[in-house]
Amino acid sequence: MTESSRIPGPGGLRADARRNRERVLVAARAVFAERGIDTPMATVARRAGVGVATLYRHFPTRDALVRSAFTQQMDTCARTLAEALADPDPWRGFQRLVETVCALQREERGFPAAFAAAFPDGAAHHTQAREHAERDLMTLVRRAQAAGALRADFHPSDLAVALVAHCGLVTALPDDGAASRRLVAYLLQSFRADAANMPLPPPSSLSPDRFPMAADRP
């Protein structure tokens, strides 16, 4: 072991420990995308080229590994929702939010399932994060509707349905970015108030809190 590998870095970890941790996170994102987030932790360790004990030393639970693997994506979603609310043009904010979440689905296909697992029902702070995100989303929806841009019969579950549809597309066609972007454009056009010339069936019961609009804050 070199002298530099013994010296703790800014996060309190030695250089070799930091490298092991990063290898685990890279491997986790790849394995979760390929096999789902229920894949055994030992599979992630093998992909990372580290021992299972090393993995558990950094991430004692699957929940901790999932959260850490997708921290950047979760933060991006939370930041984009906040920026959408701050945008004086609510439709522009809504559009950017949809495009950002769909881009994350396209880039990190393990992310939607990871998000749902990272915010399980029951824990008070997770519930608060969900409720806060839902309130913010509803505020954005109402502003866009009041501006006459978003169709009046839009329901938040419509966004959840759209994200499920897009997730299915990127799963079936993982390398077809053009198909992804075209579907997102179609979806956004269908949400516009000027496209609302026919009544819609009743909304889905799918809850929007299954999708990454919140970040878990301490």
- Answer yes or no: do 100 and 167 share one domain: yes
Closest CA to 27 of 55, 64, 60: 55
- Answer yes or no: do 86 and 39 share one domain: no
Its domain, for residue 19, covers 3-63
Considering the domain boundaries, does residue 215 fall inside one? no
pTM: 0.74
What is the C-alpha R_g of the chain? 20
H/E run at residue 108: none
Distances 159 to 43, 81, 97, 209 between C-alpha atoms, Å: 34, 13, 11, 10
- Answer yes or no: do 179 and 120 share one domain: yes
CATH number of the domain to which 87 belongs: 1.10.357
Instruction: Tell me the per-residue pLDDT of 28-86, one tens digit each, with 9 for 90 and over.
Output: 988 888 887 888 999 999 999 999 999 999 999 888 898 888 888 888 888 999 999 99
One DSSP character per residue, 191-216 reads HBGGG--SPPPPPP---GGGSS----
